[in-house]
């Protein structure tokens, strides 16, 4: 319908803006600081192969050509004919492409990609409680991916202090989440009014996930909103105080 078409167009525009801002910020950070690692979370837009690690389902188109043909020469499990946005960011920062977190015999000292196709911001129990357990294909929600990071810590550092040192020099990317959450009620033909009710819960779940990552990995106090880079780059000259925050 026209409503759905407009919604899809708006989502694509928002995604384009987010990608542009992310690339801009990554470029600015690269000039000022050398990151030691990247830890990425998300769904099919940034899945580097986690879905296919345990075997390639026959029906999965992304495990076959032409996926992967323009850069790798073979399918990698990425939903792309080549690299993903997170791949370009890693290369721009002088880091190797992030291995899927489920990859066997991989080294994760420069980071890992926890994203997996079908991921949601909300846990499966949320959808089950709404009678949508059969319409959500949740292979690893945001909070599940954070648990995978916690389980990986012993593989990349030998002590909590070493982990904190690495994470303080790492870039954490919480990528696209929400599309699969909204698909669940849409695929069940629920009214749009009910789909809209998911938005607040999705946003809250993503925010909670970011806070968990900060507490578990970085141990920093949250900055005032006007100290954030995305705010600072939009302010005119002379609008910042001596802490580089909005005065």
Q: In what order do the strands lie in the sheet with 170-174?
A: 111-113, 37-41, 170-174
In degrees and rounded to multiples of 5, residue 130 shows phi and psi of: -100, 10
Do the Cβ atoms of 90 and 96 come closer than 8 Å?
Answer: yes
What is the distance of C-alpha 1 from the center of its chain? 29
Kind plus residue range of the DSSP H or E element containing 204: helix 198-213
DSSP 216: I
Long-range contacts of 163-168 (CB under 8 A, 24+ apart): 163/217, 164/217, 164/218, 164/219, 166/36, 166/37, 166/109, 167/39, 167/217, 167/218, 168/218
Q: What is the pLDDT of residue 217?
A: 77
* pLDDT averaged over 10-residue windows placed end to end, the chain, 247 residues: 48 56 58 81 94 77 89 93 96 96 94 95 94 82 96 93 93 92 94 95 96 75 44 48 48
CA pseudo-torsion sign 132, 137, 142, 147: positive
Per-residue model confidence (pLDDT) at position 139: 77
At 225 the pLDDT is: 44
Residue 235's pLDDT is what?
47
Q: So what's the pLDDT on residue 102?
A: 95
Q: Which of 123, 181, 142 is nearest to 41 (CA)?
A: 142
The pLDDT assigned to 119 comes to 95
* CA separation, residue 59 to residues 56, 62, 69, 76, 234 (Å): 8, 9, 19, 15, 46
Question: Rounded to 5, what percent of the chain is helix, strand, coil?
Answer: 45, 5, 45
Query: For residues 241 and 63, what is the distance between their CA atoms, to the nearest angstrom?
Result: 51
**Which H helix or E strand runs over 127?**
helix 124-129
């Amino acid at each position: 319908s026209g409503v759905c078409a407009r919604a899809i167009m708006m989502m694509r525009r928002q995604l384009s803006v987010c990608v542009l801002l992310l690339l801009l910020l990554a470029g600015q950070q690269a000039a000022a600081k050398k990151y030691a690692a990247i830890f990425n979370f998300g769904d099919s837009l940034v899945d580097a192969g986690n879905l296919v690690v345990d075997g390639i389902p026959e029906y999965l188109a992304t495990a076959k050509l032409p996926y992967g043909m323009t850069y790798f020469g073979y399918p990698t499990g990425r939903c792309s004919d080549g690299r993903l946005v997170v791949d370009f960011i890693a290369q721009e920062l002088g880091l190797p492409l992030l291995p899927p977190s489920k990859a066997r015999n991989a080294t994760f000292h420069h980071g890992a990609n926890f994203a997996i196709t079908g991921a949601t911001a909300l846990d499966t129990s949320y959808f089950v409680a709404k009678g949508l357990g059969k319409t959500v294909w949740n292979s690893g929600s945001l909070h599940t991916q954070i648990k995978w990071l916690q389980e990986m810590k012993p593989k990349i550092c030998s002590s909590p202090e070493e982990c904190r040192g690495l994470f303080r020099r790492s870039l954490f990317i919480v990528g696209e989440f929400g599309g699969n959450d909204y698909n669940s009620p849409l695929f069940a033909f629920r009214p749009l009014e009910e789909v809209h009710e998911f938005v607040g819960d999705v946003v809250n779940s993503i925010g909670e996930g970011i806070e968990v990552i900060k507490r578990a990995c970085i141990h920093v106090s949250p900055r005032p909103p006007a100290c954030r880079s995305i705010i600072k780059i939009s302010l005119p000259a002379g609008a910042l105080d001596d802490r580089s925050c909005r005065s």
